[in-house]
Structure 1
């Protein structure tokens, strides 16, 4: 597969592109610790439907690089959203269906909330995937806190050193814990794990898990966007949220309280037996959600589990 590169915002973004350039656009966005390979089985049905499919590596992953050494290696949510918006601009995509999970779902949710005119539809894993930083230090239930151990690990310099020294083993452990029913093989993991050798991977990851708790400063260039997110802006575009019934990060019912944040056509789907890596574990369901939005399906008529 050919890897394309384009200068967009503060990044030289590496991405794969499939399908006709004049087709309706879909942007697929991976999370941590994954990469574009998560969408390998999602892309073909989208291309068969005539879509232009763009699959970028996020900042800190794969061949994506910062253009300047002076740019903060931020992993904050606003930076991810601004990266996505810049990529849409440079690729001259006026409007797209955005589909992502984890970090990628967060970028997609923010663009959908703040720039809805750019979003024809949204597929997001985990519901309203936007951090409310002002309340981030409010403890969750103990069982939910236990699931977030890796985030607290990255708050310390021991965690930074552990990620730098053991990034392959640590990320593989997270794959197992977050997707307990997914039996991936070594080759599947290795194809993605190569993306973690990016020189900015550790800095971006560690910053992401510190800034969301208000433990470190964010990139000043993102301040205005972060300030807008403090108001929990609603998502008005047609949306399908996907939940893994066996997600080891967040319980599938954890997003039920997110319903008020979606004020447009909305459906919530739980996929039994699937963990956190939604597109790679359930590519048919993921692609079907995208295609439903591409077809302009009335999500108010869709079956919802909320």
Structure 2
């Protein structure tokens, strides 16, 4: 490795990372990654050596970094985002000795259904089942989970239903487990307005519109959910590639229609959904986080604090941080993962 690359890497990651090669990190372009002087969203770091594994009903695409014998951290993205929400978090955790797994959720990137006959289901329980299947396929007994949006909800579900598989958790926007019954309760008008896309997706016009305009639609969501995040086109387009997945639209539309009770889930997950509908508490060590400029619908931290019955802390992150907190404030997110592991 050249002295120039070593120098750049030291400037980026600090002296604690000097001994870790780019190959070990499983990343390319780290020299262009975020530093304290570079605004988030103004670079194009890329994961390399993406992997595939058959797990449950899927062939799941995922990035991996860090030592094989490290404590496992599984990082879960939301909608409309992808694994690159964790492009700057991953090397920080790998440098700290963690084995980091970053999967594409169903309907994103290189993740594919193994059978054309499998329903393109987006209900909350099935996404958690996917991640448990991924752990089984990779022979991972237990992991620390970190996520936001759909990913935080998935981490919440795993922590609630399979606590033996979850060592600890970092959850942006806190407790996000819901139910179809709870979602029937009307919200105040201002709150309903923030969910405009939920009602759009309930129509066939919305289905067709999302299919035809997913690139621009999701870019609008990025801007409204993170109004102070000045990401560039290259950063957005890197993630937008994952929306070209052939099942993306079907999974997204089903997810939001399922929430309103407009479509059914699969019967095999009914028991899990019944358990989730009771809003189970979470006993694993947890740090919840919230950005000060989150433009997406999200609960107040005080509303969910009592749902976490184990060791718990909440962190508000300032500086104009929006919904995509791991990508907008990667060091704060990585620090939370490292800290919760010590709880």
**RMSD of equivalent CA atoms:** 0.9
Q: Write out aligned runs for 1:83-94 (5 A).
A: 83-94=130-141
Correspondence for 1:72: 119
> 2:75 touches 2:102 (CA, 8 Å); kept in 1?
yes
Is 1:46 the counterpart of 2:103 in the alignment?
A: no
Specify the alignment match of 2:110 in structure 1. Answer: 63
Secondary structure of the structure 2 residue equivalent to 1:112: helix
SS in 2 for 1:140: coil
* Greater gyration radius: 2
Report the alpha carbon displacement of residue 89 of structure 1 after superposing the two structures with TM: 1.0
Which of the numbers 238, 241, 260 marks the counterpart of 1:191? 238
Cα shift readout 1:256-277 (whole Å, capped 9, x = no counterpart): 2111211111111111211100
Equivalent residue runs for 1:181-260 within 5 Å = 181-250=228-297, 254-260=300-306
Shift of 1:254: 2.1
Q: How big is each residue's C-alpha offset from its partner over 1:225-264, in whole Å with a ceiling of 9 and x where there is no partner?
A: 111111111100000011121111135x623211121111
Give the CA deviation at 1:187. 0.2
C-alpha deviation, 1:219, in angstroms: 1.6
Deviations 1:145-196 (A, max 9, x none): 1111011110111110010000000000000000000000000000000000
Q: Distance in 1 between matches of 2:188 and 2:326?
A: 28
Provide the C-alpha distance between the structure 2 equivalents of 1:176 and 1:4, rounded to a whole number of angstroms. Answer: 30
Does the CA contact (< 8 Å) of 2:179 and 2:273 recur in 1? no
For residues 142 and 274 of structure 1, what CA distance do their matches in structure 2 show? 25
Q: Distance in 2 between matches of 1:132 and 1:268?
A: 24
Rounded to whole Å, the distance in 1 between the matches of 2:240 and 2:144 is 27
Distance 1:157 1:255 in 2: 35
Identify the residue that residue 310 of structure 2 maps to in structure 1: 264
Answer yes or no: is the 8 Å Cα contact 1:182–1:274 preserved in 2.
yes
2:192 is matched with which residue?
145
Q: Distance in 1 between matches of 2:174 and 2:191?
A: 16
Report how many residues are paired: 295
Moved more, 271-280 or 200-209: 271-280
Contact 1:126 1:250 (8 Å CA) reproduced: no
Stretch deviating more after TM superposition (164-173 or 239-248): 239-248
Where does residue 213 of structure 2 map in the other structure?
166
The answer to whether 1:31 aligns with 2:78 is yes
Q: Report if the CA contact (8 A) 1:239-1:265 is conserved.
A: yes
Which of residues 151, 164, 167 in structure 2 aligns to 1:120?
A: 167
Matched residue SS, 1:133: coil
Instruction: Confirm or deny: 8 A CA contact 2:60 2:111 kept in the other structure.
Output: yes
Q: State how far apart, in whole Å, the 2-side matches of 1:135 and 1:95 are.
A: 31
How far is the alpha carbon of 1:220 from its aligned partner?
1.8
* In structure 2, C-alpha distance between the alignment counterparts of 1:73 and 1:132, rounded to whole Å: 19
> Aligned-pair distance for 1:26?
0.1
Structure 2 SS opposite 1:71: coil
Distance of 2:198 and 2:266 partners within structure 1: 20
